[in-house]
Amino acid sequence: MGVEAFGIEKEFLKDLLTQVDRGEAQLPEFQRGWVWPDRNIASLISSISLGYPAGTVMMLKHGGEVRFKVRPVEGATAEAPPDRLILDGQQRLTSLYQALFRGKPVETQDVRGKAVRGWFYIDMRRALLDEADREEAIVLVPDTKVRVDFRGQPVLDLSTPEHEYRAQMFPCTALFSPMEWMFGFVQHDPERHAESLALWGRFQEKVVKRFDQYQMPVIELGRSTPRQAVCQVFEKVNTGGVTLTVFELLTATFAADNFDLREDWDRQRGRGPTASTACSARSPTPTSCKR
């Protein structure tokens, strides 16, 4: 595998998420599921809002001799085979797709591992106070868009656009198409029109614009990349972050031969007693059970 077998280019984040949404960029089936908690997602959104690097994405051009079973990114649909597969960057792209692009509540977990479902918002004024604390301005609100205290009393109600405007809480789902929300925000209170317009101008310049302009480096492996190289690259790029187990790496290796080790393992386990249990039940040392 020579250097000519891959290339690296910067691609706009919006274009990458559009590819995910259309199923043009999918996952090889051997990739583990999406596991990022809400604060990891908030931290990633914060980094992009500040224009900070958020790592590199690695893709494999799909359609070569090595055939992998594929699946869409969580929440996306696919009606046709993908153009490329995501080898590295799954957690980041899935998090951003769920929080910014999909238009539905994000199903994630909190720091304690408890399942949560909600929408990400940016506190406009807090986001502009101090860039060092930008992450604290990004919050997850329950899927009802109403946050309550321990008595069940509402402490934050964002259930309508008008409530969002009054609270000055910007929905992350509007980051790539902000104009409708902006018009509603600057016009919702005629007596404070100038103040709202000024706040939006600063927020759009310091936060919203950065998402539209944000680019991520993408390394793309060509269709002719051999099976051994794909599996070795996958192993190397997944040794950090969410570490893969030996079983997951073996699953990736066998997947290149169109064999789903995980699926086969689950099927074999579902047949009944394990081989060792069945053997011991028949005889102490049956010849058929020797390995």
Whether residue 276 lies inside any domain: the answer is no
What pLDDT does residue 31 have?
Answer: 73
DSSP string, the chain: --GGGEEEEEEEHHHHHHHHHHTSEEEETTSPPP---HHHHHHHHHHHHTT-----EEEEESSSSSB--EEPPTT---SS--SEEEEE-HHHHHHHIIIIIS-S-EEEE-TTS-EEEEEEEEEHHHHHH-GGGGGGGEEEEETTSEEE-TTS-EEEE-SSHHHHHHHTEEEGGGTTS-HHHHHHHHHS-GGGHHHHHHHHHHHIIIIIHHHHH-EEEEEEE-TT--HHHHHHHHHHHTSSSSPPPHHHHHHHHHHTBT--HHHHHHHHHTTSS-HHHHHHHH-SS-GGG--
Residue 273 lies in a domain: no
Position 231 scores a pLDDT of 66
Which portions of the chain are predicted below pLDDT 50? 1-4, 240-242, 244, 274-291
Predicted local distance difference test score (pLDDT) of residue 226: 63
What does the pLDDT read at residue 196? 96
Task: Look at residue 288 and tell me if it is in a domain.
Answer: no
| Per-residue pLDDT tens digits for 92-103 | 999 999 999 999
- Residue 248 belongs to some domain of the structure: yes
89 assigned to some structural domain:
yes
Structural domain that includes position 88: 3-108+190-255
At residue 70, the pLDDT reads: 86
pLDDT of 131: 86
Structural domain includes residue 207: yes
Does residue 137 form part of some domain?
no
Domain count, the chain: 1
Q: Does residue 70 lie in a domain region?
A: yes
Instruction: Please tell me whether the overall predicted TM-score, pTM, comes out greater than 0.85 for this model.
Output: no
Question: What pLDDT score was predicted for residue 291?
Answer: 36
